[in-house]
């Protein structure tokens, strides 16, 4: 559950992801997990292999959704900020049990 000074923003982002999941992510990432793990901030590096794990159509569908979504732009940006790990991690990735949000 979301806690701390930004808990309402985290909750709002979670609800936005839940709303977008069937359209954007379910086909390529499967059923939405019970818990989502996200690192702070949108700065990340991924391998070519991780990018190519999903077809070009996946990225085009994400772009189209971003351009046409009725969710405000700052919130759609937060969705992808929080989703990069799910999109680019190896299938079945689980965090270290001692993992904590860095911010």
- In a structure prediction context, what are the per-residue pLDDT tens digits for the chain, which is 103 residues long? 445 556 788 889 899 999 999 999 999 989 998 888 776 666 778 899 999 999 999 999 999 999 999 999 889 988 888 888 888 887 767 767 676 655 4
Is 94 within a domain? Answer: no
Is 25 within a domain? Answer: yes
Is 77 within a domain? Answer: yes
Q: What is the pLDDT of residue 103?
A: 46
Task: Give the span between the Cα atoms of 93 and 48, in whole angstroms.
Answer: 18
Is 101 within a domain? Answer: no
Is 26 within a domain? Answer: yes
Phi and psi at residue 21, to the nearest 5° = -50, -50
Structural domain total, the chain: 1
Is 84 within a domain? Answer: yes
Task: Give the span between the Cα atoms of 12 and 71, in whole angstroms.
Answer: 11
Q: Which domain holds residue 13?
A: 8-88
Is 53 within a domain? Answer: yes
């Amino acid at each position: 559950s979301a806690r701390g000074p930004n808990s309402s923003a985290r909750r709002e982002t979670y609800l936005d992801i839940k709303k977008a999941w069937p359209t954007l992510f379910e086909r390529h990432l499967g059923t939405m997990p019970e818990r989502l793990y996200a690192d702070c901030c949108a700065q990340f590096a991924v391998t070519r292999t991780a990018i190519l794990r999903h077809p070009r159509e996946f990225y085009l569908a994400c772009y189209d959704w971003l351009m046409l979504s009725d969710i405000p732009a700052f919130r759609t940006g937060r969705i992808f900020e929080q989703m990069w790990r799910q999109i680019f991690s190896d299938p079945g990735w689980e965090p270290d049990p001692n993992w904590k949000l860095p911010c």
